Amino acid sequence: MKTICANLECLQDYYVKPEALGKLTRCKRCNTIFKIEEMPETVGNSNLFADEDESEAVEADIEYSSSTEVSFAKRRKTKEIIEEKIQHIAQAMKKIQPLLMNSYDRKDNESDTRRLVIDRILIDVLGYAEEDIRTEYKAYNNKVDYVLSVKGEECIVVEAKAVFKPLGKREIEQATSYGVLMGIKWVVLTNGLVWMLYRTADDMRSSHDLVFTIELLDGLDEEEASHFYLISKHGMCRKKLLEKRWQKISALSPENLTAAVLSEEVINRIRITLTAQTGYRATNEEIRHTLLSRNLMD
C-alpha cells in the first residue's frame, strides 16, 4: 500500500503494510508527523507533462518500525512526482470546496473572499508558504493583491475579486496591467470560483494571452488540477512547463494558424500541388483570396 507525506512542500511517498493504515508516523525527509492514508490512483493530465521523464533523487531515510515497515525507492521519475503533486492538489481542493461554496452563498465581499478562500488555496492547494506571498503590494501607485515568489524571485501577480463578482474585460485589463508594470509575465485573475491565467507581453505593450481558465463551481476535474499544478510553487520551479504550455496555445491560436497557412511559403506549396492535380496555374493571390473569401480558414 502506498501513502504520502501530508506536507505540501515534501509529498514524499512510502510503501507501508495495510495494518499501518490510520497510524501516525514521522516523515524523516521533512520531519512532519502525519496519519498514514492510502494514496489513490494518480489523477492528472499526463500528456501535459509527457516530456518530464528525467529522474530525480529522492531521499527518504524514514526510520523502520514494526508498525510501518517502510520501504522506498531512491530515484523516481519526475513525471511520477508531478502526478503525485497533482493528486495532492485535487485532494486539498476537495477540503476547500465547501468553504468556497459557503462564501459564494453568503456573497462575501472581496476582503472576506481573500481571507476565507483565496489565502487557503494559495497555501493549502498551491503550496506557497506565507513568506512566498506578499499582499497589498504597492507598485507604481497601485496596490496589487498578491505577488507570489519562488526561491526569492517574484513570478506571479494575483488579482482577487469578490466571489460573486464576474470577471470581465475591465478586471482582465486591470490585472494584466499590473503584470506589465511590474515586469512579471504571469498574471492570475480570480474571484475564488474562477481562476484565469494570463501571460503578458515581453515588452511594455498592454497585451496579454489567456493561457487557461479553471472553474470551481462544479469542482476540480483532472485537467484543471493539472493547470493548478502549473502555477503551484512546485510547478513554478519548473518554469519550462508553463512556458511550453503557453507556447502550444500561442502556436495553435486561430490567428497564428491563419497567418501560417496564408504565408508565401505555404501558398507556394498549395499552388504547386494544385497545378499538379488540375493543370491550372493559379496565382498566389488567387489562392489566398479564395481561401479568405470562401471561409476556408474557419
Q: Measured on CA atoms in the order 191, 224, 95, 12, is the torsion positive or negative? A: negative
Q: Comparing 100 with 28, which gets the higher pLDDT?
A: 100
The pair phi, psi for residue 132, each rounded to 5°, is: -85, -10
Q: What is the mean pLDDT of residues 36-47?
A: 57
For 37, the enclosing helix (H) or strand (E) is none
Return the higher-pLDDT residue of 64 and 291: 291
C-alpha cell at 223: 485537467
Q: Which of 14-28, 115-129, 225-239, 250-264 has the lowest mean pLDDT?
A: 14-28
Answer whether residue 71 shows pLDDT above 60: no
Q: Which residue has the cell 511550453?
A: 244
pLDDT band at 15 (very low <50, low <70, confident <90, very high): confident
CA 111 to chain centre: 24
Q: How confident is the model at residue 295 (pLDDT cuts 50, 70, 90)?
A: low
The residue ranking higher by pLDDT, 226 or 39, is 226
In this predicted structure, which of 31-35, 72-76, 132-136 has the lowest mean pLDDT?
A: 72-76
The pLDDT assigned to 74 comes to: 40
Q: What cell does 245 get?
A: 504550455
Per-residue exposure over 68-83, b if at least 16 CB sit within 10 Å of its own CB, e if not: bebeeeeebeebbbbb
Q: Which residues pair with 26 in a beta bridge?
A: 33
pLDDT at 218: 86
pLDDT of residue 240: 84
Q: Is the pLDDT of residue 58 over 50?
A: no
Report pLDDT for 69. Answer: 43
Res. 207: pLDDT tops 80: no
Q: What is the mean pLDDT of residues 90-104?
A: 93
pLDDT at 17 > cutoff 60:
yes
Q: Is residue 39 predicted with pLDDT exceeding 70?
A: no
Contact call for residues 81 and 57 (beta carbons, < 8 A): no
Average pLDDT over residues 210-235: 93
User: Over the chain, what is the mean pLDDT?
Assistant: 82
What's the confidence (pLDDT) of residue 203?
A: 57
Res 13: pLDDT: 72
Average pLDDT over residues 163-184: 91
- Tell whether the model's pLDDT for residue 175 goes beyond 60: yes
74: left (phi over 0), alpha (psi -120 to 50) or beta: alpha
**How many residues are there in the chain?**
298
Residue 129: predicted pLDDT: 95
pLDDT at res. 65? 40
Residue 197 pLDDT grade (very low, low, confident, very high; cuts 50, 70, 90): very high
